[in-house]
Amino acid sequence: MNLFNVYPLFNINPVKAQGSFLWDDKGEKYLDFYGGHAVISIGHNHPHYQAQLKEQLEKISFYSNSVQNELQIELAEKLGKLSGYEDYNLFLCNSGAEANENALKLASFHNGKSKVLYFSGSFHGRTSAAVSVTDNPKIVAPVNFSERFIKSEWNDIKQLEEIFEAQGSEISSVIIEGIQGVGGIMIPTAEFLSKIKELCEKYDAALILDEVQSGYGRSGYFFAHQEFGIEPDMITTAKGMGNGFPIGGVLIHPKFEASNGLLGTTFGGNHLACAAAIAVLDVMKEENLMANAQQMGDYIENEIKDFPHIKSIRRKGLMIGAELDQDCSEVRKSLLYDHHIFTGNSNDKSVLRILPALNIGKEETDLFVVALKVVLDKI
Ligand SMILES: Cc1ncc(COP(=O)(O)O)c(C=O)c1O
Tell me what the mean pLDDT of segment 9-36 comes to.
98
- Ligand 1 atom at minimal distance to the Cα of residue 180: 1
Contacts of 192 (CB under 8 A, 6+ apart): 155, 156, 157, 160
Q: Are residues 29 and 93 in the same domain?
A: no
Q: What value does the mean pLDDT of the chain take?
A: 98
Indicate whether 293 belongs to any domain: no
- Ligand 1 centroid–CA 123 distance in Å is 7
Torsion of CA 77, 83, 84, 89, to 10 degrees: -50
pTM: 0.98
Tell me what the mean pLDDT of segment 269-284 comes to.
98
Q: Are residues 225 and 317 in the same domain?
A: no
**What pLDDT is stored for residue 228 in this prediction?**
95
Asked if residue 290 lies in contact with residue 217, where contact means CB atoms within 8 angstroms, the answer is yes
78, burial (CB in 10 Å: exposed 0-12, middle 13-18, buried 19+): middle
**What pLDDT is stored for residue 163 in this prediction?**
98
37 lines ligand 1 (CB under 6 A): yes
Tell me what the mean pLDDT of segment 68-94 comes to.
98
CATH number for position 133: 3.40.640.10
Residue nearest to atom 16 of ligand 1 (CA): 213
Q: Are residues 333 and 196 in the same domain?
A: no
- Ligand 1 centroid–CA 354 distance in Å is 16
Indicate whether 296 belongs to any domain: no
Sign for the CA dihedral angle at 16, 22, 23, 24 comes to positive
Q: Are residues 38 and 90 in the same domain?
A: no
What is the CA angle 335-240-9, rounded to 5?
40
Task: Read off the DSSP letter of residue 222.
Answer: S
**What pLDDT is stored for residue 32 in this prediction?**
98
212 lines ligand 1 (CB under 6 A): yes
pLDDT tens for each residue of 323-379: 999 999 999 999 999 999 999 999 999 999 999 999 999 999 999 999 999 999 999
Report the percentage of the chain scoring pLDDT > 70. 100
Q: Are residues 42 and 60 in the same domain?
A: no
Would you list the DSSP string of 272-333? HHHHHHHHHHHHHHHTTHHHHHHHHHHHHHHHHTTSTTEEEEEEETTEEEEEESS-SHHHHH
Q: Are residues 126 and 168 in the same domain?
A: yes
Sign for the CA dihedral angle at 25, 364, 301, 220 comes to positive
Query: Distance of alpha carbon 314 from its chain centroid, rounded?
Result: 16
- Ligand 1 atom at minimal distance to the Cα of residue 125: 6
**What pLDDT is stored for residue 234 in this prediction?**
99
pLDDT tens for each residue of 149-203: 999 999 999 999 999 999 999 999 999 999 999 999 999 999 999 999 999 999 9
Indicate whether 7 belongs to any domain: no
CATH number for position 351: 3.90.1150.10
69 lines ligand 1 (CB under 6 A): no
Q: What's the domain range around 224? A: 47-286
- Ligand 1 atom at minimal distance to the Cα of residue 126: 11
**What pLDDT is stored for residue 231 in this prediction?**
97
- Ligand 1 atom at minimal distance to the Cα of residue 211: 1
Q: Are residues 258 and 317 in the same domain?
A: no
- Ligand 1 centroid–CA 100 distance in Å is 9
Q: Are residues 41 and 56 in the same domain?
A: no
**Strand order across the 206-210 sheet:** 89-93, 248-252, 234-237, 206-210, 171-177, 115-119, 149-152
- Ligand 1 centroid–CA 58 distance in Å is 31
Q: Are residues 145 and 212 in the same domain?
A: yes
**What pLDDT is stored for residue 45 in this prediction?**
97
96 lines ligand 1 (CB under 6 A): yes
Indicate whether 292 belongs to any domain: no
348 lines ligand 1 (CB under 6 A): no
Given pLDDT bands bounded at 50, 70 and 90, which one contains residue 286?
very high
Contacts of 94 (CB under 8 A, 6+ apart): 246, 247, 248, 265, 267, 268, 273
Indicate whether 207 belongs to any domain: yes
Q: Are residues 253 and 127 in the same domain?
A: yes
46 lines ligand 1 (CB under 6 A): no
Indicate whether 174 belongs to any domain: yes
**What pLDDT is stored for residue 175 in this prediction?**
99
**What pLDDT is stored for residue 73 in this prediction?**
98
Query: Distance of alpha carbon 376 from its chain centroid, rounded?
Result: 28
**What pLDDT is stored for residue 340 in this prediction?**
98
- Helices H / strands E in the chain, number of each: 11, 14
Report the percentage of the chain scoring pLDDT > 90. 100
Instruction: Give the closest residue to 262 by CA, choosing from 378, 108, 106, 132.
Output: 106
297 lines ligand 1 (CB under 6 A): no
Contacts of 179 (CB under 8 A, 6+ apart): 185, 186, 187, 188, 213, 214, 219, 224, 316, 319
Can you say whether residue 80 is alpha, beta or left, with left for phi > 0 and alpha for psi between -120 and 50 degrees? alpha
- Ligand 1 atom at minimal distance to the Cα of residue 246: 10
Indicate whether 149 belongs to any domain: yes
Q: Are residues 150 and 251 in the same domain?
A: yes
Residue 19: φ, ψ to 5° = 60, -120
pLDDT tens for each residue of 206-262: 999 999 999 999 999 999 999 999 999 999 999 999 999 999 999 999 999 999 999
Query: Distance of alpha carbon 264 from its chain centroid, rounded?
Result: 22
- Ligand 1 atom at minimal distance to the Cα of residue 248: 10
Indicate whether 203 belongs to any domain: yes
Per the structure, how many domains does the chain have?
A: 2
182 lines ligand 1 (CB under 6 A): yes
Q: Are residues 28 and 53 in the same domain?
A: no
Asked if residue 265 lies in contact with residue 58, where contact means CB atoms within 8 angstroms, the answer is no
